[in-house]
C-alpha cells in the first residue's frame, strides 16, 4: 500500500503541489477508544491550526461522490479561488465531532470501512484521477 500511495502522490505532483503531514497515532487499549480519539484530535487540531486550507475530512458518514463529481467539485472550488486543500484521513479511532465541525466537506470513500492506510491509497488514486479528468488526460478513459 505504501508503494501505491507513493506512486499516485508522485503522479499527482504533475498537477499540484502535494504535502503529506502525519501525526502520531494514539496508543490506548480498546476500552480507552474515546480517550484515544480525543488525544488524536489534539494532535490533528495542532497540525490544522497552521493550516487555512479547504478542509476535507474523510469519514464513512460523509458525502459520497463519483470520480467525475469529485473532479467537478475540486475544479469549481479552484474557480472560486480555493487553491489549497487539506484532506484528513483519521486514524483507527476515526475523528472527533470537533474535527468534523471544522471541515468544509466531510467526504466518504465508501459505506465500507477501510484501514487508514487503504483510505490513503484510495484517496491518492482518486485525487490523481480527478486531476486527470480535469486536465483531459486519458487516464480516466
| Residues contacting residue 62 through CB under 8 Å, at least 6 positions apart | 105, 106, 107, 108
- The superfamily in CATH containing domain 2-140 is SPOUT methyltransferase, trefoil knot domain (3.40.1280.10)
Query: Which tens digit of pLDDT belongs to each residue from 65-74?
Result: 999 999 999 9
| pTM summary value | 0.84
List, in sequence order, the alpha helices (H) in 1-141: 2-12, 33-49, 67-79, 97-102, 116-135
| Residues contacting residue 120 through CB under 8 Å, at least 6 positions apart | 1, 5, 89
Question: With 90 as the cut, is the pLDDT of residue 13 above it?
Answer: yes
Residue 22: the pLDDT is 73
Question: With 70 as the cut, is the pLDDT of residue 1 above it?
Answer: yes
Between CA 74 and CA 100 the distance in angstroms is 19
The domain segmentation of the chain, as residue ranges, is: 2-140
Between CA 122 and CA 25 the distance in angstroms is 20
Amino acid at each position: 500500500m505504501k508503494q501505491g500511495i507513493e506512486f499516485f502522490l508522485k503522479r499527482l505532483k504533475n498537477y499540484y503541489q502535494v504535502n503529506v503531514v502525519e501525526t502520531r497515532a494514539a496508543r490506548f487499549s480498546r476500552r480507552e477508544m474515546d480517550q484515544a480519539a480525543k488525544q488524536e484530535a489534539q494532535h490533528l487540531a495542532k497540525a490544522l491550526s497552521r493550516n487555512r486550507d479547504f478542509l476535507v475530512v474523510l469519514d464513512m458518514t460523509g458525502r459520497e461522490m463519483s470520480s467525475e463529481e469529485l473532479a467537478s467539485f475540486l475544479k469549481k472550488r479552484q474557480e472560486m479561488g480555493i487553491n489549497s486543500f487539506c484532506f484528513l484521513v483519521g486514524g483507527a479511532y476515526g475523528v472527533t465531532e470537533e474535527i468534523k465541525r471544522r471541515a468544509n466537506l466531510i467526504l466518504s470513500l465508501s459505506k465500507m470501512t477501510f484501514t487508514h492506510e487503504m483510505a490513503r491509497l484510495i484517496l491518492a488514486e482518486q485525487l490523481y484521477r480527478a486531476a486527470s479528468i480535469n486536465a483531459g488526460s486519458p487516464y480516466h478513459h
